Structure 1
């Protein structure tokens, strides 16, 4: 029923390569080196700092007590130690190292201060450093990577490979268009429909320095509301990056191939630094007709003066995907799990680009500013094939194009007791939506334009005294959406633009208290408002005679959430443990109801009262040096108090769709010998509903997935093999009702991916 797509020549080659590398571990004489990394001012140990030999794969991260251990060749004389928020330091190799890092005046890191939460901020957060990204990353989209590394996330893949093509995630059961996403503070969301399509800029995570997930309303961020949470990506740090490069080659099931090359200049004349990366991914996909052909280019370059930095970040990417957005009825999946209802000619050809010009100035040790001017854009074709009246096939193209221009300016002031910051952000977002019949794509029968303008201001204040930190954050957002309807398509005389105005005042307060070096507790309360999307306002993807009056009548309200969070962080020599409790109280929640509009997007409506509450846990336990137990979980209860269907039926005390009670991740990692690591990881997601009446026959079944990996690192060469879904059972991670029975998006059975990298 299912073939893993190993070619006969692949397995012997893999076994030979691993045997060769494993047996070669004795190349050269090595010494064991141990040390501890501290904050130079507080004298506290730094957990998660990177300790590595520049230009090689040799490195590690410090444990919870700041300690590390490395096996080094005799000829290694120095190490580099880095940590976000601290100055990178080069140290001479010696026994029993004690390394003290100074808090950073790194010019690049000022760029993310406006959207990042600090370690002791009263926010439910997870920050993933570059070393951890490198250990897991194989070219997959960020949503699949975040699912492995942070709590409360589960994702879906339209191709079933969980690597390429379209995919998305839900945070605390809330869909991706209600999650704020930024790169260096620049919004990545579509400002009108609020989505982020990572398939448009594939393999971008290879150019990330770090990622931070804030769950709940979090701290202020730019762009669409941080409603379910926010994800901030930091691009690669070029100020401290050594000269050199890397080539990565990957291959896997379903004729999947990946190539990524990157090159860094290092600092030139102590003032200039440049970085570039190019990637290509090809895959047939697991489901029929879900192939991917994607490429991307990322560039970063900058001037670094004593007090000023001028930096350009840019990417340009394109993808061609076979489409698989339609859920497939369970009965059809039982007959063939690779079933895809969409025609083989249903494809997209899309591109996305971003250019960001940044300037940072340090006026003094206490005051610094940064400003960013940016342009983003995307566009392409999206084809749909259908049976015409005479049973012949016809095709419609649904292209869209957008241009996004923005400016943000932030200032930061701090002394021993206070950290103050404030900033403004404004943008103009222009959009064109078309529909046209093949082959006359140049003359659309539907043509609609829209634009959105937004201005926001934030102010943050943090007061520190001994062990107590008090935090306050206020954001004010004003947005105007103007839609220019196609009145000839609607069939009425022009009545002017549809104009929607919103103003949101979003306050947050919180406190944290450090009881000892090992124990910190926090609590916070915040409110966030979010405007409806264009699809919500229309009740569909285009504006016609049937929905015009509804769209003009302001019948769709904004949604609001009052978010309460409290947690504790425990850090010991062998154990790190975080626990967070949350209660999210919604008013007029914009919730999906199970009915599919088109392209797999469900219809949404305002629900007067609903809530989500639960507990999130993260842990990392090192019982012995060669073994680590790492994981996270969420237990959540979600309820809609009352809602009325379109035909007048009223339901009470129902669970929102695709909101499981349990999401559990656990990984066991063993290092039997130096530089060789084996890991076994499992993910469990409990049952959830596919529609709001909670019909027990229309559910997404619970699933448990077991994966394994093995990695070996030499000085300049690394090899990693992943075996996914060891049970070889296709499973479902998203869906919707299809003709009265449950419909699903399926994930592949047993499959593999091998990555080899060379650093120079």
Structure 2
């Protein structure tokens, strides 16, 4: 509670200093951005190159940058469908700079993603991250760490640091219900419905912008958004050739390197971009190693009114398994202990199997064609194909032959029912599909978008025995199970935006989604999991956006979303006789935005009403996936507060705070009852009606803060703070199964400068977890009860790294 109080005091006291921003000195650059026809370009992006400062134009095309120190700068103005323009400006006094942008003879990739993104006046809660903001937060970690300071965002990692298997939630919504797209293409795995960014390492280094929508958001492609949407845009058009090298070094033998190359636009017709990356780490947890490779290559042809872009994104990961965490019985004495791979040989000697690893390769092939048919109509067609294959490599100590469908054997006249095994569990999958969108704007105030996608996903699940301690006649690469899944997914949506008056606009969106999911064969425990499921979902959305004046605006919306269970939901459910059903969400949003010269504020109220929400039980299955169950009635409600203020000429602060309640109504907590701890004969399910309880893994308080101090031009110091309130790791709301709140601070300093022959040199150093907080970000638990009122507990906690260090050297040519 003390840490939360300190955080709240900092958050609101600093916000109260906004008056300093209006009289804090410095110069102002202001003006308008318009097209050649004189029409204001609303929502144009204005950036002061190299300073990290930026803004957007208002509904009159006006912009203002304040607190600018004397010096020579480059101001960049950009807008979808127009050529980006850079203007040199010498600041000695306040500057008025009006900019006129010319329509592009080529279409940029912004046109493609705009069909599924929220625009400035879309009545939804969202955060836009530009390339410079992404780079600022990219300190060598994966996606979860880079986005950690955005509202309602909680990041976790199995290895304890930002490299390896990471995950995140938004408003308490786990990753399996967050829709992810790259350049408008669906990236979520259709069965688990997650994106494992460990299979797409360093994708953020290719990103030119990212939009994070909270709540249902706008209709998009692929798996239905059920709480949040994240879409990446890569490969923004560069007018000039470029080359960039980035190298990160950090604690726990961590390093990440990448190289980015681009030709710029050639003869106003072609451009090519490429990235190659490598990351390695020993991890904070024992044997939670990472060895990741990735590459991205794209080529674009620009016609007079069209573009054709092809991209290949490759990822390869080899990661030490650490998904079982640290048992609570060990955490106080050895918080980096990893039980995975530990076994005892025939003489009782403790051994470690060093190849207890997760290994996977994935390649995305993306092709997109865009044609501006007329000044009022734009057509976009996309085609994608993804192939992935990989396996877990596990040492199984003293496992029964019968578990693998094998008979007992006699060795040296001794009947052997058990043996040690090395097994691999494989996935081999393909996802092929197409996306489309047609944008029609009959008049300037009205725009329609018809879009959608269709795909077929096939996945083979199978297991191989690679070695057995007692091997009498087991064939090489013996398969003990195999199943095949096929999932057809299609959706179409119609969106409309209407600027009814200069101040009032309306948004409407309706989506139909069809899912046909079929499984056939045996799971890894020899259970027949054959089943078929079909769903037809209708997801309407409606909202309004009202501009009070140049600085204040309001929005309100109501949206409906549906989501089907995942593969593991079905396979776990069939084994526990729980028939899982799809979940439904009605999302109510009410927001306010203030944009002043030295202060910006935002507030968003939300009420997310669920039917049959699939909530995390706190348990894991045998391959580390969370086990979930339907909660008939539940809700998430809260307020998100955002603020940014220029305190002094060279000091600014930005932060956000989410206060929420996340509840299950009339919750019945079920626990397996067995006769005793020796025989483990199942008796029944003990059921406890607990009334209203907190949803697991849903902290009621989430906050972040960042102070930025720039004592010299190009030299910056950032102090970041992340607060996550207490959370339960099952739905019983038991104090015994609760993660404590944590407050983590990190400090980084960097110098960005230029020399002859190099456009930029960036030197950075940083300290993560500055005050050496020992905290736990995630957990799981399995409980059983016995007739003598005793209990059995098996659990795993995921401690995060204590104080650690990193440095970066970046060169841009």
Pairwise same-fold verdict (TM > 0.5): yes
Tell whether 2:84 aligns with 1:88.
yes
Q: How far apart are the structure 1 equivalents of 2:476 and 2:46? A: 54
Match of 1:447 in 2: 482
Q: How far apart are the structure 2 equivalents of 1:86 and 1:704? A: 44
Match of 1:29 in 2: none
Q: How far apart are the structure 2 equivalents of 1:449 and 1:72? A: 65
Structure 1 position 242, deviation (Å): 2.2
Match of 1:214 in 2: 213
Question: Quick one: structure 1 residues 102 and 365, their matched pair in 2 at CA, closer, same or farther if it must change by over 3 Å?
Answer: farther
Structure 1 position 345, deviation (Å): 2.7
Helix, strand or coil at the partner of 1:205: helix
Tell whether 2:688 aligns with 1:668.
no
Structure 1 position 399, deviation (Å): 1.2
* 8 A Cα contact 1:382 1:399, kept in partner: yes
Match of 1:381 in 2: 391
Structure 1 position 442, deviation (Å): 3.2
Match of 1:712 in 2: 751
Match of 1:161 in 2: 161
Match of 2:463 in 1: 435
Question: Quick one: structure 1 residues 713 and 217, their matched pair in 2 at CA, closer, same or farther if it must change by over 3 Å?
Answer: same
Where does structure 1 lack aligned partners over 5 or more consecutive residues?
1-31
Match of 2:54 in 1: 61
Question: Quick one: structure 1 residues 741 and 556, their matched pair in 2 at CA, closer, same or farther if it must change by over 3 Å?
Answer: closer
Helix, strand or coil at the partner of 1:697: helix
Q: How does 1:304-453 map to 2 (within 5 A)?
A: 304-343=302-341, 344-388=354-398, 393-414=420-441, 415-439=443-467, 442-453=477-488
Question: Quick one: structure 1 residues 80 and 512, their matched pair in 2 at CA, closer, same or farther if it must change by over 3 Å?
Answer: closer
Q: Which has the larger radius of gyration?
A: 2
Helix, strand or coil at the partner of 2:478: coil
Match of 1:35 in 2: 29
Question: Quick one: structure 1 residues 110 and 45, their matched pair in 2 at CA, closer, same or farther if it must change by over 3 Å?
Answer: closer
* 8 A Cα contact 2:186 2:221, kept in partner: yes
Q: How does 1:438-587 map to 2 (within 5 A)?
A: 438-439=466-467, 442-464=477-499, 465-486=501-522, 498-539=531-572, 546=575, 550=577, 555-587=579-611
Question: Quick one: structure 1 residues 755 and 443, their matched pair in 2 at CA, closer, same or farther if it must change by over 3 Å?
Answer: same
Q: How far apart are the structure 2 equivalents of 1:241 and 1:445? A: 56
Q: How far apart are the structure 2 equivalents of 1:217 and 1:331? A: 40
Question: Quick one: structure 1 residues 491 and 82, their matched pair in 2 at CA, closer, same or farther if it must change by over 3 Å?
Answer: closer
User: Could you report, residue by residue, the CA deviation over 1:659-711 in whole angstroms, capped at 9, with x for unpaired residues?
Assistant: 11100101111111111101111111111111111111110111010100101
User: Could you report, residue by residue, the CA deviation over 1:211-262 in whole angstroms, capped at 9, with x for unpaired residues?
Assistant: 101111110011111101110111121x334211111111010011111111
Question: Quick one: structure 1 residues 240 and 36, their matched pair in 2 at CA, closer, same or farther if it must change by over 3 Å?
Answer: farther
Match of 1:14 in 2: none
Question: Quick one: structure 1 residues 59 and 508, their matched pair in 2 at CA, closer, same or farther if it must change by over 3 Å?
Answer: closer
Helix, strand or coil at the partner of 1:444: strand
User: Could you report, residue by residue, the CA deviation over 1:392-422 in whole angstroms, capped at 9, with x for unpaired residues?
Assistant: 7422211112111010110111222101101
**Which residue of the other structure, out of 281, 285, 288, is the alignment partner of 1:287?**
285
Structure 1 position 369, deviation (Å): 1.0
Q: How far apart are the structure 2 equivalents of 1:474 and 1:522? A: 19
* 8 A Cα contact 2:109 2:235, kept in partner: no
* 8 A Cα contact 1:48 1:66, kept in partner: no
Q: How far apart are the structure 1 equivalents of 2:497 and 2:664? A: 36
* 8 A Cα contact 1:638 1:655, kept in partner: yes
Q: How far apart are the structure 1 equivalents of 2:523 and 2:655? A: 55
Match of 1:8 in 2: none
Q: How does 1:120-199 map to 2 (within 5 A)?
A: 120-148=121-149, 150-162=150-162, 164-199=163-198
| TM-score relative to the length of structure 2 | 0.83
Question: Quick one: structure 1 residues 487 and 462, their matched pair in 2 at CA, closer, same or farther if it must change by over 3 Å?
Answer: closer
Question: Quick one: structure 1 residues 577 and 445, their matched pair in 2 at CA, closer, same or farther if it must change by over 3 Å?
Answer: same
User: Could you report, residue by residue, the CA deviation over 1:416-449 in whole angstroms, capped at 9, with x for unpaired residues?
Assistant: 2101101131001111111222236733110101
Question: Quick one: structure 1 residues 438 and 368, their matched pair in 2 at CA, closer, same or farther if it must change by over 3 Å?
Answer: same
RMSD, matched Cα? 2.5
Match of 2:4 in 1: none
Q: How far apart are the structure 1 equivalents of 2:803 and 2:81? A: 41
Where does structure 2 lack aligned partners over 5 or more consecutive residues?
1-25, 58-62, 342-353, 400-415, 468-474, 671-684, 755-759, 783-791
* 8 A Cα contact 1:708 1:724, kept in partner: yes
**Which residue of the other structure, out of 697, 711, 736, is the alignment partner of 1:697?**
736
Match of 2:114 in 1: 113
* 8 A Cα contact 1:299 1:314, kept in partner: yes
Q: How far apart are the structure 1 equivalents of 2:102 and 2:503? A: 19
Structure 1 position 748, deviation (Å): 0.4
Match of 2:679 in 1: none
Structure 1 position 90, deviation (Å): 3.0
Structure 1 position 487, deviation (Å): 9.6
Q: How far apart are the structure 1 equivalents of 2:182 and 2:551? A: 32
